[in-house]
Structure 1
């Protein structure tokens, strides 16, 4: 073995050993950064995770609290304490990638919390003994006073998949009540599905992934298609990665172009959910639950 190869091997072993120990470290919990979520508000918890309170009903999007989701992606911030999410009643999983789905994180939540997930994510969870309701584009799940509908996303849906597709293996979610419609995009690139959601649901608030998959011109096009008066950027703030230095610029571009339409939130910060727009149709009083339950 050459000197250079030996040195490279030693560096790799040192890095891997250090990372392996870090992966299993107990995450630091911060009750100050993450106070109990406000009622009728959207509270940003970093990356793709937010706590959405609609009329006292608690919904969490893509919670991942692990220290690292791959060897080189480490957590930059503490995690919420149990009392911040113990009222969660519904968990929305958009797809099965490591930074959006972690069985150990889901195990922290109440066993009474219902999990909605597309097929690949639900199957992955079933192998870990976690039950999920399978959602595909068009599936609806009833909540008190409204519904949650899965919509297509253009993104790889499998655990280690890399080829994006709008085939329903990755989804977003539209939350509808009598007073507000909220669209959580999950993780997606720009595609015609944004125009479909805008025309069909007329969202009041969009929780939009602004990241390497969707930024700059494409993000502006997506926002124009959706027509929402409020857009909250997401998919930043919790983990290291090659896009960390670019993300503030991407959010800044949106603020510069669209002003108060864009509402960037710091981790732990909340935005009150405003009243309904004039002409917004209320959610139906009764919606068929077209999700399916999957468990190993």
Structure 2
């Protein structure tokens, strides 16, 4: 696809080169994220040194990661869910904007529209009431007839079909632990999301990058660090869907099909 490239940097972090701009989703760029360790190498600095725009889907520490944002520079344009801007500005970031579902903004030739997401928006998790909170969101990123859906963290919801058809959906297929809490897609539900959004192609994300140190070496955890995108691909195929699954290891360039192959 001419003028468009993707690189999966790990977890929910994807670099998009589209419309002459570089966009980074939910940057997690360091060897540790809170109490989690990165089980693949951190992305080299050249993969994020020229970022124009950062899209943050929600406030959880594995999506809004302050040390990673600092690596990008405190003047980098950061878009957060409405209600989170003042909190992030207090951390010293000087170019923060807010967006809510249905609202749009532009970055050069790009148009970014926030979408609904079904997921806890509290910084410290769904059971706490103190501290920063704002609704979790996803994003539609469009330019020159290409549309990318960045789901963030979400479960299925009514209205997801309104986003389609999309050229590429960035769909979470697992997480970082042995279990998934509410507001997440597992491989089977991610396959449903690919069909609902009429995604021509899908990149499985939110897998194979972070783990709890004490359990990362167990046989079950080793499987969960590797299997979810493969199960996702199998679920898409079993459902008879037309979505092409672009399986990509963390850190690698996404092999996009030619536009004429996806007409």
> TM-score of the superposition, structure 2-length normalised?
0.80
Query: Match of 1:245, SS?
Result: helix
CA distance in 1, matches of 2:57, 2:88: 13
The equivalent residue for 2:223 is 245
Unaligned runs of at least 5 residues, structure 2: 128-132, 175-179, 216-220, 238-242
Task: Find 1:210's aligned residue among 173, 177, 199.
Answer: 173
Matched-pair contact (CA < 8 Å) for 1:207–1:234? yes
> TM-score of the superposition, structure 1-length normalised?
0.72
Count of aligned positions: 234
Query: Match of 1:221, SS?
Result: helix
CA distance in 2, matches of 1:275, 1:207: 18
Query: Match of 1:107, SS?
Result: helix
CA distance in 1, matches of 2:12, 2:56: 10
Query: Match of 2:161, SS?
Result: helix
CA distance in 1, matches of 2:154, 2:121: 10
Matched-pair contact (CA < 8 Å) for 1:63–1:102? yes
Task: Kindly state the Cα deviation for residue 262 of structure 1 after the two structures are TM-superposed.
Answer: 1.1
Task: Kindly state the Cα deviation for residue 120 of structure 1 after the two structures are TM-superposed.
Answer: 4.6
Superposed CA RMSD: 2.4
The equivalent residue for 1:255 is 233
**Are 1:234 and 2:200 an aligned pair?**
no
Matched-pair contact (CA < 8 Å) for 1:136–1:168? no
The equivalent residue for 2:152 is 186
Matched-pair contact (CA < 8 Å) for 2:74–2:92? no
Q: Check 1:168–1:108 CA distance in 2 against 1; reply closer, same or farther (3 A cut).
A: closer
Q: Which structure carries more strand by proportion?
A: 2
CA distance in 2, matches of 1:168, 1:205: 26
The equivalent residue for 1:67 is 31
Point out the more displaced range, 235-244 or 99-108: 235-244
